[in-house]
Chains A and B, each alone.
Chain A
Amino acid sequence: MPERYVGARVRRSEDERLLTGRALFVDDVQLDGQLHAAFVRSEHAHGRLRDVDVSAARRRPGVISVITAADLGDYWRPGPLLVPPPPIPGLIFHTCTQVPLVRDKVRHVGEPIAMIVAQSRYVAEDALADVVVDIEPLPAVVDLEAAMAAGAARVHEHLASNLAAHVVQRTGDYDAARAAAHRVIRRRFRYDRGLSAAIENRCVVAQWDARAEELTIWDTTQAPIPIRNGLAARLGLLESQVRVIAPFVGGGFGPKIMMHYPEEVLIPWIAMQLGRPVKWTEDRQENFFATTQERGQVHDAELAVAQDGRILGIRDVFLHDTGAYDPYGLTVPINSQCTLLGPYDVPAYDTEFTAVFTNKPIVTPVRGAGRQHGVFVMERLLDLAARELGLDRLEIRRRNYLSRDRFPYDHHILFQDSAPLVYDSGDYAPALEEAAKLIGYHHFLHEEQPRARAAGRHVGLGIVSYIEGTGIGPYEGARVTVEPSGQVRVATGVGTQGQGHFTAFAQIVADVLAVRIEHVHVVTGDTREFNWGTGTFASRGAVVAGTACHAAATAVRTKVFDLASRLLETPPEGLELVGGAVRVVGSDRSIDLGALAAQANPLRGAVRPGTEPGLEATAYYGPDRGSTASGVHAMIVEVDPETAMVTIQKYVVVHDCGRLINPMLVEGQIHGGVAHGIGNAFYEQLMWDDNGQLQNASLMDYLLPTATEVPPIVIGHRETPSPLSPIGLKGVGEAGCIPTGAAFAQAVEDALADFHVEITEIPLSPDRLFQLLQRTPPQRRNQVIVEGSYVFRLPRAVVWDALQDPAVLVRALPGGMALEQQGEASYHGAMRVGIGPVTAAEFTVRVTLLDREPPQRFAMVVDGHSGLGFTRGTAQVSLEEDAAGTVMRYRAELQVGGRIAGVGQRVLDTAAKLMTRQGLELVHRELAGRRTGEASA
Chain B
Amino acid sequence: MTQQVPVQVTVNGTRHDVVVEPRLLLSDFLRQDLGLTGTHVGCEHGVCGACTILLDGEAVRSCLMFAAQADGHAVTTVEGLASPGGLHPLQSAFHEAHALQCGFCTPGILMTLVPFLRDHPAPDEREIREALAGNLCRCTGYQNIVVAVRQAAADARAHSESESARA
List A residues at the B interface (Cβ < 8 Å).
11-12, 14-16, 18-25, 27-28, 30, 61-62, 122, 196-201, 248-251, 253, 283-284, 497-500, 664-665, 667-668, 670-676, 698-700, 704, 706-708, 710, 712-713, 736
Contacts and interface: CB of A to CB of B under 8 A. Distances in A.
Contacts, number: 179
Closest 5 pairs between A and B when the two form their complex, measured CB to CB: A21-B38, A498-B102, A250-B104, A18-B103, A671-B141
7 contacts: A19-B78, A23-B103, A27-B41, A196-B138, A250-B42, A671-B140, A707-B132
Contacts of B91: 19-20
A497 B103 CA distance: 9
B45 A22 contact: no
B1 A62 contact: yes
Interface of B: 1, 21, 23-24, 31-32, 35-45, 47-48, 50, 77-79, 81-82, 87, 91, 94-96, 98, 100-107, 110, 125, 128-130, 132-146
Contacts of B136: 199, 699, 704, 706
A667 B24 CA distance: 41
A708 B143 contact: no
A713 B143 contact: yes
A11 B103 contact: no
B103 A19 contact: yes
Contact of A698 (B1, B21, B37, B47): B47
A30 B102 contact: no
B24 to A, nearest CB: 8
Given A18-B103, A699-B48, A699-B136, A710 B141 contact: yes
Given A672-B101, A698-B43, 15 more contacts: A12-B95, A16-B87, A18-B100, A19-B87, A19-B91, A61-B1, A200-B42, A201-B42, A248-B104, A284-B43, A498-B103, A665-B98, A667-B98, A668-B139, A673-B141
B106 to A, nearest CB: 6
Contact of B95 (A15, A21, A251, A713): A15
Contacts of A672: 101, 138-141
Given A25-B37, A253-B138, A675-B141, A699 B103 contact: no
Nearest to B129: A707
Contacts of A284: 42-45, 48
A499 B40 contact: no
Contacts of A698: 43, 45, 47
A106 B32 CA distance: 35
A198 B102 contact: yes
A24 B31 CA distance: 12
Nearest to A500: B101
Q: Chain B's interface: helix, strand, loop or mixed, by majority?
A: loop
A21 B138 contact: no
Interface-central residue, B50, B100, B102, B129, by most chain A CB under 10 Å: B102
A28 B37 contact: yes
Given A18-B106, A20-B78, A21-B39, A199 B48 contact: yes
A505 to B, nearest CB: 16
Contacts of A23: 103
Contacts of A710: 141-143
A294 B2 CA distance: 43
A197 B42 CA distance: 10
Nearest to A15: B95
A671 B143 contact: yes
Contacts of A22: 38, 79
Contact of A497 (B36, B102, B132): B102
Nearest to A664: B98
A283 to B, nearest CB: 6
A375 B130 CA distance: 33
Nearest to B94: A19
Contact of A15 (B41, B94, B141): B94
Contact of A699 (B45, B105, B107, B143): B45
Contacts of B35: 30
A200 B107 CA distance: 13
A704 B141 CA distance: 11
A25 B104 contact: yes
Given A15-B94, A61-B1, A198 B145 contact: no
Nearest to A713: B143
Contact of A200 (B23, B102, B145): B102
Given A253-B138, A698-B47, A21 B107 contact: yes
Contacts of A498: 100-104, 139
A251 B102 contact: yes
Contact of B101 (A668, A699, A700): A668
A210 to B, nearest CB: 25
Nearest to A673: B141
B96 A11 contact: yes
B21 to A, nearest CB: 7
Contacts of B45: 284, 698-700
Interface-central residue, A15, A673, A699, by most chain B CB under 10 Å: A15
A429 B54 CA distance: 52
A199 B82 contact: no
Given A16-B95, A699-B45, A248 B141 contact: no
Contacts of B81: 20
Contacts of B43: 284, 698-699
B50 A199 contact: yes
Given A11-B95, A700-B47, A671 B100 contact: no
A502 B103 CA distance: 14
Contacts of A200: 40, 42, 102, 104
Contact of B44 (A122, A283, A707): A283
Nearest to A250: B104
Interface-central residue, A27, A248, A665, by most chain B CB under 10 Å: A27
A30 B44 CA distance: 20
A710 B1 CA distance: 49
Nearest to A503: B98
A671 B144 contact: yes
A607 to B, nearest CB: 44
Contacts of B95: 11-12, 15-16, 19
Given A21-B36, A699-B136, A708-B133, A248 B102 contact: yes
Interface-central residue, B36, B43, B138, by most chain A CB under 10 Å: B138
B91 to A, nearest CB: 4
Contacts of A24: 37
Interface-central residue, A22, A199, A670, A676, by most chain B CB under 10 Å: A199
